[in-house]
A and B are shown apart, each in its own frame.
Chain A
Amino acid sequence: AQSVTQPDIHITVSEGASLELRCNYSYGATPYLFWYVQSPGQGLQLLLKYFSGDTLVQGIKGFEAEFKRSQSSFNLRKPSVHWSDAAEYFCAVSPNTNAGKSTFGDGTTLTVKP
């Protein structure tokens, strides 16, 4: 069975500082990988996705993620955080044999200090 680990439950960064959110997955093959953001009481917004090809993926809102097969990781990064980035971030995987059936990590809460 596939699983996703987000080691950091809560991260606090200063506005303007760089950000990296970690995600590790366990799956027999390379799954499809996603990062979502969720504001309180809201649905999910897709930040970026990886299916194949270039391992550095650009997303919306200035986010990027890098797939590292050797480390089974898909870490999310942003060079300069804005106060509006404060939210819950979820990493998710879905098998390439049943795309769309997603397993989510437990999420990382991002707090941005002024």
Chain B
Amino acid sequence: GAVVSQHPSWVICKSGTSVKIECRSLDFQATTMFWYRQFPKQSLMLMATSNEGSKATYEQGVEKDKFLINHASLTLSTLTVTSAHPEDSSFYICSARVDRPEAFFGQGTRLTVV
């Protein structure tokens, strides 16, 4: 149990376009989901916390208008990178929490902006 799936696993988009990444909890309902970004050879940095039915809480320095997060249901959260630029190229990972003191990670999405 406790499987989190991200889609797509990798995506290439042109500079200036928007791309949407989905994070689904497959076998449980997630009250809270988290979005992280990982640049090459660096650690994971929390971008935002997403609660179902409410606005996401963004970490300091993360542009909420650029990284749109929607958590419309207890099993799905989406991250949309708007007007993507090459510097947005990164590995994006989501995690989802149940009523246990841990979150389960998706497999990540590799975004390349060309």
Contacts and interface: CB of A to CB of B under 8 A. Distances in A.
Interface string B87-114: 0000001010100111101111010000
Contacts, number: 56
Interface residues of A, number: 22
B108 A100 contact: no
Contact of B97 (A42, A99, A104, A107): A99
B54 interface: no
Interface residues of B, number: 20
Contact of A90 (B44, B49, B101, B103): B44
B105 A44 contact: yes
B108 A43 contact: yes
A32 interface: yes
B46, B102, B107: most-surrounded residue (chain A CB, <10 A) = B102
Interface of B: 32, 34, 42-46, 49, 93, 95, 97, 100-103, 105-108, 110
Interface of A: 32, 34, 36, 41-44, 46, 49, 51, 90, 94, 96, 99-107
